[in-house]
Structure 1
Amino acid sequence: MKNVKALLGILLLMLFVASCSSDDSTSNNGNNQLRIKASAVYTPTANRSANGVAMNEDVVLTSFKINIREIEFEFAEDYYDDNDNDDDDDNDGYDDDDNSYDDDGFYGDDDEFDLAGPFELDLLNQNSVVTTVSIPNGIYEEVEFKLDRNVDSASEMYNKSIEIKGTIGGTPFVFWHNVEEDFEIDYEDDNQNLVVNNGSYELVFNFNLNQVLSQVDLSNATDGDGDGLIEIGPNDTDGNQSLANAIKNKIKDSCELDD
Structure 2
Amino acid sequence: MVSLGLNQNTCKNKDLIEFMDFAQDFQGIELIFENIEKYIINNNNIEIRDILEYLETYNLDLINILRLEDFSLCSDSKFNNEIIPKLKQMLNFCYKLGCYLITVSPSIESRDIPEWRIIRRTKRKLKEIAKIAYKEDIKVGFEFNNLPNSSISTLSQAKDVLKPLISQENLGYIIDTFYLSINMTKIEELKEIINQIYLFQISDAKSNFEYKSSDVKEEFRIFPGKGRFDFQKFFKLIKEFGYRDYYSIELYQNECTRNIYYRFFEFNKII
Q: TM-score, normalised by structure 2?
A: 0.23
Q: TM-score, normalised by structure 1?
A: 0.24
Between Structure 1 and Structure 2, which shows a larger proportion of strand residues? 1
Between Structure 1 and Structure 2, which shows a larger proportion of helix residues? 2
RCO (CA 8 Å, sep 6+): is it higher in 1 or 2?
1
Q: From the CA coordinates, give the structure whose radius of gyration is larger.
A: 1
